[in-house]
Amino acid sequence: MVVIDKKTRKVICVAFCNGKKHDFALYKESGIYVLKRIKIGADSGFQGIAKIHANSFTPRKKPKNKPLTKEDKEYNRNLSQERVGNENAIGFIKRFKIVSERYRNRRKRFGLRFTLLSGICNYELGSI
């Protein structure tokens, strides 16, 4: 899980675990605290975050056996336009292949390496 500042597109913090874990479960276990006044724009993996953080926004899901309304489609489109900077920053981190491919090194050092790569990405974004 990567927390990114919307304006600067820099990585604020990262959270990770051994093995596979659902995004929202990782968020709850990570202990990352976000102030209530800060907006969170999350993907559909964080369904239910509104119960914990009132100022959060996730895409609206299609009701069973019914299509999405035009308002819901517009809402999802606007939310994805706001999140495109975050996805670009995550893609920038994935260039180092530590997240996009199988990690074949010592698991103890994964967190350290991922944090260092996030710092390198922040440095590169600061120099642009």
Residue 59: its pLDDT value, please? 92
Residue 67: its pLDDT value, please? 92
Residue 46 Cα to chain centre, angstroms: 9
- Please name the residues in contact with 116: beta carbons below 8 A apart, sequence gap of 6 or more: none
For residue 98, which phi and psi values (nearest 5 degrees)? -75, -30
Residue 101: its pLDDT value, please? 78
In whole angstroms, what is the distance from residue 97 CA to residue 75 CA? 33
**CB crowding 49-62: b at 16 or more within 10 Å, else e:** beeebeebbbbbee
Residue 117: its pLDDT value, please? 86
Tell me: the pLDDT tens digits for 39-66? Answer: 888 888 888 888 888 888 999 999 889 9
Under DSSP, the state recorded for 2 is E
Residue 100: its pLDDT value, please? 75
Task: Tell me the pTM.
Answer: 0.74
Residue 127: its pLDDT value, please? 63
Ranges of each domain in the chain: 2-121
Residue 19: its pLDDT value, please? 75
Distance spanning both ends of the chain, measured CA to CA: 24
Residue 128: its pLDDT value, please? 56
CA distances from 35 to 14, 40, 53, 56 (A): 17, 10, 9, 11
| Residue 70, token pair as written in the block | 């035009």
Low-confidence ranges of the chain (pLDDT < 50): none
